[in-house]
Amino acid sequence: MKKLMLLASLCLLLNSSATLAQISTSSTRVQRNQGKTLTHTTKLENAKGNQVVVTMSNSDVQVIGHNSNEVVIEAKNYQGAPARAAGLKPLYNQLEDNTGLGLHVIKENNGVKISKTTRQDGKYIIKVPKNVAVVFHETNWTDGNLNMSDLDGEIELKLQNWNASLTNITGPVVANATNSDIVIKFSSLNQSKPSAVSVITGTVEIYLPAGTKADFKMKSVQGQIYSDLDMNIPKEPKSNLPRMTGGTNIQGKTNGGGVEMTLYTISGDMFIRKSK
């Protein structure tokens, strides 16, 4: 009996030591990148016609334009796969992490494509040449936030559950979202192509310089539309009241009209403001 008890005690001691070793290894791995910023750089000419395509999930992402011929990605505190996964491939997302940041980055055609390879939460800063087009797609329904700033190229967004804030951009912007609040602050409005924002559930808030020339087409099925811009909305000849077609469809022009801007929500309010 004493021998059995001794053997049991030794097994318990060995198991405890192994567990502590695993915890120590995991802790060391976590501490290794704690507070560190990891960087990946790819060349891309700062020119119209080039583009950066980003597909992302459960992350907070900043996309910032800069005067450079490089795409620079920064990630802070990224941990990567656990040590026990060494030599194994992930099955939920089979793209190779070729950056060490949980991202797969390749050059294709006239641009760079950035795809997330991990299910972990992430925080990324992506600096792109400010004249290139940016295409951003949210790939699932996990939470996340997108902030974009200082861009002079075309922007395309396809969001499901993320909120988006765009600042100091010229567009054109084409954004489609399911359950999102979208705020766009234009430094000026590109007149070469139309802009359009469509949201099923969520608010749309647009800031434009007072002198912006635009033709607006607006509709909120269950919400209200507010603006401090003079939109010169057509009036009915008999009543001299604004002409409302289709119940909630509104058309108007600012500063004599210009490029078309279509704004649409089903369940949410819309705010169109003068920039301050």
Q: Taking Cα atoms as reference points, which of 82, 75, 84 lies closest to residue 126?
A: 75
Q: What share of the chain has pLDDT > 90, as a percent?
A: 66
pLDDT interval class at 238 (50, 70, 90): low
Is 222 or 9 the better-scoring residue by pLDDT? 222
pLDDT, tens digit, 9 for 90 and up, residues 37-95: 899 999 999 999 999 999 999 899 999 999 999 999 999 878 888 888 888 887 777 78
Q: Is the pLDDT of residue 152 over 60?
A: yes
The pLDDT value recorded for residue 79 is 80
pLDDT, tens digit, 9 for 90 and up, residues 194-204: 999 999 999 99
> pTM score > 0.75 for this model?
yes
